[in-house]
Amino acid sequence: MSQLLCILAHPNFAASRANAALSAHIRRLPGAEVTDLYARYGGTQAIDVDAEAQALMAADAIVLQFPLQWYSTPSLLKEWQDQVLTQMMYVAPQTQGCRLAGKPVMVVATAGATFEDYTPGGRNGVSVSDLLLPLQAMARRCGLRWLPPFVVYDTRNLGDEALAEAGESLLMHLAAHLAPQGEPAPACMT
């Protein structure tokens, strides 16, 4: 794995022990860059679509890291998708969008509720995998290679040791799934 770009979207990152632990582990990887969308654009500053597109094109692998909020991504991550990916895939597909084809993308998400809460019989009634289907469809449309998500549950109740273990597990998950594949890159879907 060479250039890993982690798009971090947490509206209150300073209060998030779980996302802080996970992003700290990602930062330990050689060639990894963590872009905190809320630190960069959380005020009134407009998203720099060209800079974000350039970062995506330069990356070898992409991680989308966020807390599940109301069964979805935080709003700024959705706004980032709307602006950056629309530019890349619909305004400049040949010069930008096609350069995403074949790159792996992985979701790293945190949930305050337990795994059991995210089952058909649980409190939420749906799995996290079901909740991530829009991101999986986005990845497919962009020609990205969807990788198994990494989800940490019950984050409100995890101590420092458990969070450190989650960070180490994340590094193993990344190493296992971001290893080069022998598959050909998908064709550009313009």
pLDDT tens for 30-82 read 999 999 999 999 877 899 999 999 999 999 999 999 999 999 999 999 999 99
Find the Cα–Cα–Cα–Cα dihedral 55, 57, 60, 62, rounded to 10°. Answer: 60
Domains located in the chain, CATH noted: 4-177 (3.40.50.360)
Q: What is the reported pTM?
A: 0.93
Region for residue 135 given its phi and psi (left: phi exceeds 0; alpha: psi -120 to 50; beta: otherwise): alpha
The predicted-structure confidence for 140-177, as pLDDT tens digits, reads as follows 999 999 999 999 999 999 999 999 999 999 999 998 88
What confidence tens digit (pLDDT) does each residue in 81-93 have?
999 999 999 999 9
